[in-house]
Amino acid sequence: MKHPKKRMDKKTLLRNILITSLILGFTTAGSFAFFTFTDNADSVAILYILAVVFTARFTTGYVPGIIASFFSVICVNYAFTYPYFSLSFSLDGYPLTFAAMMIIASLTSMTTTHLKEKSRILNEQEKLLMEAEKEKMRANLLRAISHDLRTPLTSIIGTSSTYLDSGSSLSEEEKRQLVQTIYDDSNWLLNMVENLLSVTRIRQADAHVSTSLEPLEEVISEAVSRLKKRLPGAKVQVSIPDDFIMVPMDATLIEQVIINLLENGIYHGNSDAPMELTATVADGQAFFRVRDHGQGIREDLLPHIFDGYADTPTSSGDSRKGMGIGLSICKTIIMAHDGNIWAENLSDGAAFTFTLPLGDEPYES
């Protein structure tokens, strides 16, 4: 079943008429001035062919370019070819010359219009792919939230129920352990809420963030400081460039990414060795690398580690510390900064790396 062709709306039609008239008007005025000083009709023909190209580029559809082609041929014949101000196709060579010009101008118009339409279709397909990716990330995030919120809440309810039902028969040490479990799970929930609040700073319209130039050293220092308030026993070795580097970013969001990556290494690395946080600058990008010296990432999880659900239980079976929601949010934040993030296994442990573009502003050294 063939779909009926859509009629051009009045606004587009008027826009085509205005643009075509302005381009041909300026071209004609310029051609008269050029021909008066140089008496060169060949160059005038080239000017009109350029006018046809611009008309096809800045109008919608094939008709304006064809009309511009026809007008250009007639104008060159009438105003810039002997006998002047008279249409004449009877002189030797003229019919072939003007037929060739008409064909060249028309083909140029159609080719330009076709390329513009192809570019438009490609842009629309790219937007659709981006929307599909955003929908996938949203679905993964919701799935991760439902899992990672339900698990600690279930633990809190179960632990508090045990305390209330059997409190009189429990020793002080057992009571302390139950309260400690509730405290730890509550802190874990608070951490996830902070992650979710971080996502709200990303503009939903274009999935980007408002950035400002921030000192790299201060952002890393603040992230490590916030981590140690939450995990006083965390050991982190930091390595940053000697230069004073300013990076365009949302500092709060990037601090959250660094904290998430460090926490994942601490909880899932199963190693007593300090975490390593390294920052470098190369090829117009700032590189942030977080690595541990633990057991690494399971190979079956590695390709999907940022998809929103990548539960890697620790050796103690503490599933409440799943990596899904944190790493999914890390990816969302880095993509909103036009950066990249990836994970890899090393000979001893794993490393997470993300990049941020430095932009056009030079950093101070």
Q: Is residue 246 a contact partner of residue 217, using CB atoms and an 8 Å limit? A: no
* Residue 138 CB contacts under 8 Å (≥ 6 apart), including other chains: none
- Report the candidate in 240, 341, 247, 330 with the shortest Cα–Cα distance to residue 285: 247
3-state class of 238 per DSSP? strand
How far apart, in whole angstroms, are the C-alpha atoms of residue 234 and residue 180?
18
Closest CA to 326 of 132, 139, 130, 145: 145
Could you give the angle at the alpha carbon of 242 between the alpha carbons of 241 and 248, nearest 5°? 55
* Cα–Cα distance for residue pair 141/199, rounded to 1 Å: 10
The pLDDT of residue 254: 93
Rounded CA gap, 349 and 347, in Å?
6
Q: Which residue, 336, 60, 341, is CA-closest to 207? A: 336
* Interaxial angle between packed helices 41-58 and 10-38, expressed in degrees from 0 to 180 and rounded to the nearest 10: 160
DSSP character string of 258-292: HHHHHHHHHHHH---SPEEEEEEEETTEEEEEEE-
Distance CA 230, CA 270 (A): 18
Digitized pLDDT (tens) for each residue of the chain, 365 residues in all: 444 555 667 888 888 889 989 998 998 898 888 888 887 776 787 888 888 888 877 887 778 877 887 888 788 777 777 777 777 666 555 666 667 666 776 777 677 777 878 888 888 888 888 778 777 766 766 776 676 677 788 888 989 998 888 878 888 898 898 998 898 888 778 877 776 776 666 755 556 778 899 999 999 999 999 888 888 888 999 999 988 899 999 898 899 899 989 988 888 888 889 999 999 999 899 999 999 998 888 888 888 888 765 444 433 334 445 455 678 888 888 988 999 999 999 988 999 999 999 976 555 54
Sign, Cα dihedral of 12, 17, 21, 24: positive
* Neighbour count for residue 245 (Cβ, 10 Å): 20
Give the Cα separation of 44 and 258 in Å (integer): 62
Instruction: Please give the full DSSP string across 133-196, using - where no structure is assigned.
Output: HHHHHHHHHHHHHHHHHHHHHHHHHHHHHHHHHHGGGS-HHHHHHHHHHHHHHHHHHHHHHHHH
- The pLDDT value given to residue 201: 66
Beta bridge partners of 356: 286
Two structure tokens written together for 132:
């599909």
What pLDDT shows up at residue 1? 46
Q: Which domains does the chain show, CATH number per domain?
A: 10-127 (no CATH), 201-357 (3.30.565.10)
Q: Return the pLDDT at 344.
A: 94
Sign, CA torsion 172/178/179/184: positive
Query: pTM value?
Result: 0.56
* Selection from 60, 101, 57 nearest residue 77 by Cα: 101
Rounded CA separation 238/246 (Å):
18
CA–CA gap between residue 125 and residue 61 (Å, rounded): 20
Eight-state DSSP code of residue 364: P
Amino acid at 63: V
